[in-house]
Structure 1
Amino acid sequence: MICPICQKESDKKYRPFCSKRCADIDLGHWFDGTYTAPSTEEDDVADEPETPEQRTH
């Protein structure tokens, strides 16, 4: 299996990555929004941030 980040051979310990560094890079892509998962739920998409008046408790 090839590491999806650097294209080197993957290591069993970090599979599918070759190292902790590449695994951390991939995790960082999720955290910073580089990777996203699409949603079909209308509530998940907001044009404007909610104001306190718009919140329902």
Structure 2
Amino acid sequence: MSLCLAAAPVQAGADISAQDCARGGGVIIINAVGDGTFTKYCEGVTHDGETIT
């Protein structure tokens, strides 16, 4: 018997707060590129991959 688990699909365009990310069991990832340009997203559990506003 084999078991295959797939990640839940990310909601397109879903923006959440940092508090929502933490409450959902995720961690906040900040991706900085170049001079001052950065994005924040949630990684893990409920809000995995969603953008933090």
Q: Structure with the greater relative contact order (CA < 8 A, sep ≥ 6): 1 or 2?
A: 2
Task: Quickly name the TM-score band, shorter chain normalised.
Answer: under 0.3
Q: Please identify which structure carries the higher helix content.
A: 1
**Normalised TM-score (structure 2):** 0.22
Larger Rg over CA atoms: 1
Q: Please identify which structure carries the higher strand content.
A: 2
